Amino acid sequence: MNGSAELDRYLFDLQGFLVIENVLSSAEVDALNALVDAHVEALPEDWGAVAAENRLGLYNVYRFGMAGGSYPDGPGFLDWGQPFRDLMDHPAVMAVLREQLGQSFRLDRIFGMRMSKGMPNARLHSDYGASQPYADSHPGERYRQPDYQALHGFSVAAFNLTASGPETGGLRVIPGSHHSHYRLPERIRNDEYLDVVVCPKAPAGSVTLFSEATTHGTARWTADHERRTLLYKYCHSNLTWSRTRVTAPEGVDLSPRQQKLLEPPGGAGWFFPNVFSEDSS
């Protein structure tokens, strides 16, 4: 989608996700793909057997360049070259995050995803709201979220380095699910009822933004080409998903805004700066 700011705001709020095309040029996509090739090994042909031997299963097969979240402190793929660092504060992403997360937010965790033909679905889930794993919600009952729980304070920017969509697989979402007051039914979670699930069309060079309260997952990859997506996960300044963080690469100059995005958690205004202040332009 490449509509007006008014239309994009409406669609993002309505659906819980937004695809913006032509965010990266073909030259930028090529440069990022070349750096991925230089830093990761080819996906194993026996990925099923390799996944069975890993604690996180298939996640440990197709993820790369991880930092923060479920992985240790570090720069992750930010250490692989300037093109990865340039995406941290891409103007198209910052404009949407400013609407959702306000003036003070941080980069919470990062990783890349690759998939080869035949890799299966990853289960639908949401990290916040009625369907998050530790919500005290019950099947079929309206959930009244407590004030102390986060809901829309986390957002993802997924940059596509290869095309994905309904014909190929990749990211799948349930539009509007970030507003749901009901726990995700097991029939949907178990892929028995998929009428409400969509695989957004996202060409190479596009970015898909979505709230982590939006129910999302991965659809089986059916394309001959490899899926490649870079995920940058942001949150409001006083939130954090885990104890680990994305840190700055050593010996690299970051812009003032990029430095602020890597600050530790803190209350907005009190301990965490406005990332859009004049000195961070």
How many helices and strands (H and E) does the chain possess?
A: 8, 9
pLDDT value, residue 48: 75
Candidates 144, 128, 129, 138; CA nearest to 241 is 128
Q: Are 200 and 256 in contact (CB under 8 A)?
A: no
Q: Are 76 and 230 in contact (CB under 8 A)?
A: no
Candidates 111, 194, 125, 121; CA nearest to 159 is 111
**Does the pLDDT at position 280 exceed 50?**
no
Would the pTM count as exceeding 0.85? yes
**Does the pLDDT at position 90 exceed 80?**
yes
Look up residue 264 and give its DSSP letter: P
**Does the pLDDT at position 266 exceed 90?**
yes
- Map residue 100 onto helix, strand or coil: helix
Q: How many angstroms separate the CA atoms of 131 and 182, rounded?
A: 7
- 238-264 pLDDT, tens digit per residue, is 999 999 999 999 999 999 999 999 999
pLDDT value, residue 46: 80
Q: How many angstroms separate the CA atoms of 167 and 262, rounded?
A: 37
* Structure-token match 């930028």, residue found: 28
Q: How many angstroms separate the CA atoms of 32 and 73, rounded?
A: 23
Q: Are 174 and 197 in contact (CB under 8 A)?
A: yes
pLDDT value, residue 59: 67
Look up residue 42 and give its DSSP letter: P
**Does the pLDDT at position 125 exceed 70?**
yes
Average pLDDT, the chain: 93
Distances (CA, A) of 74 to 64, 66, 130, 209, 241: 13, 8, 31, 24, 15
Grade residue 281 by pLDDT with cuts at 50, 70 and 90.
Answer: very low
- 151-171 pLDDT, tens digit per residue, is 999 999 999 999 999 999 999
- 27-81 pLDDT, tens digit per residue, is 999 999 999 999 998 888 887 777 677 765 676 778 999 999 999 999 999 999 9
